[in-house]
Structure 1
Amino acid sequence: MSGEFERTQRIAIIGGGPGGYEAALAAAQLGADVTLVERTGVGGSAVITDVVPSKSLIATADAASAIKEATDLGVQFFARGADGQPSRPEVAINLRAVNKRLLSLASQQSDDMRASLVEAGVRIIPGYGRLDGPHAVVVSTGPGGTDFDRVEADTLVVSVGAAPRELPSAKPDGERILTWTQLYDMPALPEHLIVVGSGVTGAEFASAYMNLGSKVTIVSSRDQVLPGEDPDAAAVLEGVFRRGGMKVLSKSRAQSVTREGDGVVVTLEDGRTVEGSHCLMAVGSVPNTAGIGLEEAGLQLSPSGHIRVNRVARTSVPNIYAAGDCTTFMPLASVASMQGRTAIFHAMGDVVIPIDRRLIAANIFTAPEIATVGYSEQDVTDGKILGVVHKLPLSANPRAKMMGIKDGFIKLIARRGSGTVLGGVIVAPKASELIYPIAVAVDRRLSVDQLSRAFTVYPSLTGGITDAARAMHIVDADAEAGDDA
């Protein structure tokens, strides 16, 4: 008789970025009636204007850099001139072609994601969604536009993302003063790009355009680039920047950015000015949470407008969840995806493992890349954990020598006594791939001895991880001997 009262759970999702997409897919796979409301296209800004195009641009910059550095490996490029004599060709960047390719890749990825949702049975409504209480979503033609649909739901997921932060004294015009979503409209490589902001976004684009051939100046309000990241990693990257010809203005805060003819002028708080052809404003982002009925539905927001969520992505309203950059959790696409899945599993009574921030692997796509997971060396210094740290320069790795890699390192953090791997940092080409064994070790609570016993190929960059783990066995033994003494 109980079957007569069963009905399919109705789930409505606002925002089709990584969080909303994964939530919709998981809900459909679990048999829910799923509706997704998305205003820009499946994949959201992460796929269409942010992660996919930016990392595609960085891949192009890496290719250009590899060509330039090939001479260090004995590879030389020459072309025959009219006189029959060899001449060295220049590496040229066709930015129109580059931008066309990366925007095409973004569109293709969005189409593939949409096809996956349609195949899974998800109903997709294009438009602007807002909450109408805790159990309904109203869809309109635009902000404040005419309503044309209403979706009743048992569970709601908000995944509306974030947008580039704009300063009143540096308003983007889409031509010379730009946000990172507007870079792909540039017809040619900027002659001199000034990057305001030295966080992850600023550092990534500064690195990319430097390697593409632009003159770059980065304005950093802190002592060095990437404040808040591993200081050793930031120091390596800043050294690479300076060696590559980039001008790094440390302890410098931009007061205003103005357009002057075919260029820009950045005025610093101390009165100095910097002139360039273009300026990228990379001063953070703001969540897209205003005016969509969140507070009226009872959701708690932080002072910055982010949605407060717990470790299963649940908000202060029991049947409403939130995922991605609009939440108080870490602003990473991988985290948004995990939050989306976790929210649905929790809402539908499936097995749920609450998200642990310490298990999240993150990567900065500069050249070299910087990947991190788990506790940091600063946590050891501050006494948050009783740990030991070992750093192995990448220049000592045989595979790195063969590849001509001079910059970078592998750093492991382990618990004193047990040797349990608690964290790690890798600065290297493709660090985003190399961090995975350390992420597994942190997740599975492996010891440095267990990590060192795994076979790695010789020669390989991953061999540096086991080398560091073996070295920590000695360090740990000495530490224990010292404690006993």
Structure 2
Amino acid sequence: MKTYDAIFIGAGQAGPFLAARMAEKGMKVALIERKYLGGTCVNAGCMPTKTLVASARAAHVARTGGDYGVKISGPIGIDMKVVRKRAETVTMNARNGLTGWFSGMKSMEVIYGHATFTGARTVEVNGEVLTAPQIFLNVGARPTIPDFPGLADVDYLTSTSIIQLDTLPRHLVVIGGSYIGLEFAQMYRRFGAEVTVIERGPKLASREDEDVSDAIEEIIASEGIAVHTGAENIAFAKAGDGITVSISGKPDIKASHVLVATGRTPNTGDLGLDKAGVATDKRGFITVDERLMTNVEGIYALGDCNGHGAFTHTSYNDFEIAAANLLDGGDRKVSSRIPAYALYIDPPLGRAGMTEKQARASGREVAVSKRPMSRVGRANERGETKGFMKIVADAETQEILGAAFLGIEGDEAIHGIIDAMNAGTTYPVLQWSVPIHPTVSELIPTIIGDLKPV
């Protein structure tokens, strides 16, 4: 049996950084990864997909150049092999960077293999048993595959496998109208494919307020993407070299490719958690307390597998919380984290805090202000006026409760709200800041000035 100060299972965006902190302090740590360093973000998430989004935007800008007085002779061509290679290069650079970093740490051992618990303090990997007083799980999640009729009989894509595609689909059908599905839908439409989005719920991006969801659908539809919401009885069948997709009340859709983007499932089912006594919820997420420890003393769950966020930045913040509490004498809690994320369609959605619906349901006296991007100078100058900016506040305490910026640079401008909320700044204080012109962020004080109780 090999003994360590700490064992890390999974090398996503939380565990490896905490392992590195411990190794720098001279602690003996084992980092176990069954496949690739970097987790979903580096290998099948943020980095490759946002690289693909950038290629798709370049095609869109070239295609619409005439609107800006830029003339390009002939049609815009897409070399999908180059597109894929560019994304692969970004991934490999990041993965290799991690490999090089960890190889220089004398007290860290990187082990490739599948780890399973044999007890509350022991794990087995590659036939060896390892033990440590502290064990950290950072095993991430994978695409959820629903039991649709006929789906198992066709060759479908997931958000992981589609990034390996080096040919352009004739007609891509996306099952799932949420964040991942929408990004790929717009991306492949801009590459030149026919695209259809099928969503079982009544709205796209159903987590958002209705006005945000409606605006997202308008943006998607304006680029020629067919959208079917409220879809029932989704089924699949082989059809020659393609796939027939059927939904109630609609003509059959003849797809060349199908992307299933219906959520994520935690990679917790094959860890032997029962042998360690670690509890999970009904969806398989590992239950943790405010400091990310499971119900078993000394075992922690970080990142997507604990159900407290499904983003790289929340996973990294899990590392920061654990490092502060275990190494720096801090007392940080998950509940202190203000929810924030982005949807990377173009224009993007930046979100922070509560939605308007959540704020109203909280029983507070709510004030709301909203401004269309068509009234934002920077958006008009750039010729990108789709979407709007909305801020929600507590009219009594003057606390900023949340915001949704759907529009050009919304993913960047939202940080003005995130920072103010983290600092506990009331909205009258933020109203009197003097922002830079011309920017999207300069509208924040103006929108705050228009806050009205609802």
Which residue is equivalent to 1:53?
48
Matching of residue 105 in structure 1 with residue 108 in structure 2 = no
Which residues in structure 2 correspond to 1:233-252 (within 5 Å)? 233-252=212-231
Distance of 1:308 and 1:326 partners within structure 2 = 9
Amino acid at match of 2:93: Q
Which residue is equivalent to 1:66?
61
Which residue is equivalent to 1:438?
417
Contact 2:142 2:265 in 1 (8 A): yes
Which residue is equivalent to 1:224?
203
- Deviating above 4 A after TM superposition, structure 1's stretches of 4 or more consecutive aligned residues are 170-173, 269-272
In structure 2, list runs of 5 or more residues that go unmatched: none
Q: In the alignment, which of 108, 112, 121 is matched to residue 126 of structure 1?
A: 112
Residues 60/253 of structure 1: CA separation in 2 closer, same or farther (3 Å cut): farther
Which moves more between the two structures, 396-405 or 39-48? 39-48
Matching of residue 264 in structure 1 with residue 259 in structure 2 = no
Contact 1:322 1:340 in 2 (8 A): no
Matching of residue 331 in structure 1 with residue 310 in structure 2 = yes
CA-to-aligned-CA distance 1:135-156 (integer Å, 9 cap, x gap) = 122112xxxxxx1x33211110
Matched residue SS, 1:309: coil
Q: In the alignment, which of 428, 446, 451 is matched to residue 467 of structure 1?
A: 446
Amino acid at match of 1:55: K
Which residue is equivalent to 2:184?
205
Matching of residue 13 in structure 1 with residue 17 in structure 2 = no
Matching of residue 364 in structure 1 with residue 343 in structure 2 = yes
Contact 2:11 2:38 in 1 (8 A): yes
Distance of 2:132 and 2:29 partners within structure 1 = 9
Distance of 1:351 and 1:284 partners within structure 2 = 34
CA-to-aligned-CA distance 1:176-235 (integer Å, 9 cap, x gap) = 511111113323111110001111111111121112221110001122211112322221
Contact 2:177 2:199 in 1 (8 A): yes
Which moves more between the two structures, 317-326 or 336-345? 336-345
Contact 2:364 2:394 in 1 (8 A): yes
Residues 419/70 of structure 1: CA separation in 2 closer, same or farther (3 Å cut): farther
Amino acid at match of 1:105: V
Which moves more between the two structures, 442-451 or 264-273? 264-273
Which moves more between the two structures, 387-396 or 358-367? 358-367
Residues 115/431 of structure 1: CA separation in 2 closer, same or farther (3 Å cut): farther
Distance of 2:411 and 2:267 partners within structure 1 = 28
Distance of 1:334 and 1:172 partners within structure 2 = 34
CA-to-aligned-CA distance 1:341-360 (integer Å, 9 cap, x gap) = 32243344631311237612
Which residues in structure 2 correspond to 1:126-205 (within 5 Å)? 126-140=112-126, 147=127, 149-168=128-147, 169-171=149-151, 176-205=155-184
- The structural deviation recorded for 1:93 is 1.1
Residues 355/30 of structure 1: CA separation in 2 closer, same or farther (3 Å cut): farther
Which residue is equivalent to 1:429?
408
Which residue is equivalent to 1:42?
37
Which residue is equivalent to 1:84?
none
Matching of residue 296 in structure 1 with residue 275 in structure 2 = yes
In structure 1, list runs of 5 or more residues that go unmatched: 1-7, 79-88, 141-146, 480-485
Which residue is equivalent to 1:313?
292
Matched residue SS, 1:325: helix
- The structural deviation recorded for 1:32 is 2.6
Contact 1:38 1:44 in 2 (8 A): no
Residues 177/432 of structure 1: CA separation in 2 closer, same or farther (3 Å cut): same
Give the percent of matched residue pairs that are identical in Structure 1 and Structure 2: 26
Distance of 2:421 and 2:259 partners within structure 1 = 36
Matched residue SS, 1:296: helix
Amino acid at match of 2:94: Q
| TM-score where L is the length of structure 1 | 0.88
Which residues in structure 2 correspond to 1:401-412 (within 5 Å)? 401-412=380-391
Distance of 2:193 and 2:101 partners within structure 1 = 39
Contact 1:176 1:263 in 2 (8 A): no
Which moves more between the two structures, 34-43 or 159-168? 159-168
Q: How large is the Cα RMSD of the aligned pairs?
A: 2.1
Residues 166/468 of structure 1: CA separation in 2 closer, same or farther (3 Å cut): same
Amino acid at match of 2:202: D
Residues 271/208 of structure 1: CA separation in 2 closer, same or farther (3 Å cut): closer
Amino acid at match of 2:62: I
Matching of residue 452 in structure 1 with residue 431 in structure 2 = yes
Matching of residue 285 in structure 1 with residue 280 in structure 2 = no
Contact 1:219 1:253 in 2 (8 A): no
Contact 2:83 2:166 in 1 (8 A): no
- The structural deviation recorded for 1:421 is 1.4
Residues 385/255 of structure 1: CA separation in 2 closer, same or farther (3 Å cut): same
- The structural deviation recorded for 1:271 is 7.2
Contact 2:385 2:408 in 1 (8 A): no
Q: How many residues get paired? A: 450
Distance of 1:187 and 1:293 partners within structure 2 = 37
Contact 2:385 2:407 in 1 (8 A): no
Distance of 1:270 and 1:239 partners within structure 2 = 22
Contact 1:319 1:347 in 2 (8 A): no
Distance of 2:28 and 2:418 partners within structure 1 = 35
- The structural deviation recorded for 1:279 is 0.6
Distance of 2:237 and 2:41 partners within structure 1 = 28
Contact 2:4 2:30 in 1 (8 A): no
Which residue is equivalent to 1:482?
none
Which residue is equivalent to 2:375?
396
Matched residue SS, 1:275: strand
Distance of 2:421 and 2:31 partners within structure 1 = 35
| TM-score where L is the length of structure 2 | 0.93
Q: In the alignment, which of 357, 364, 368 is matched to residue 378 of structure 1?
A: 357
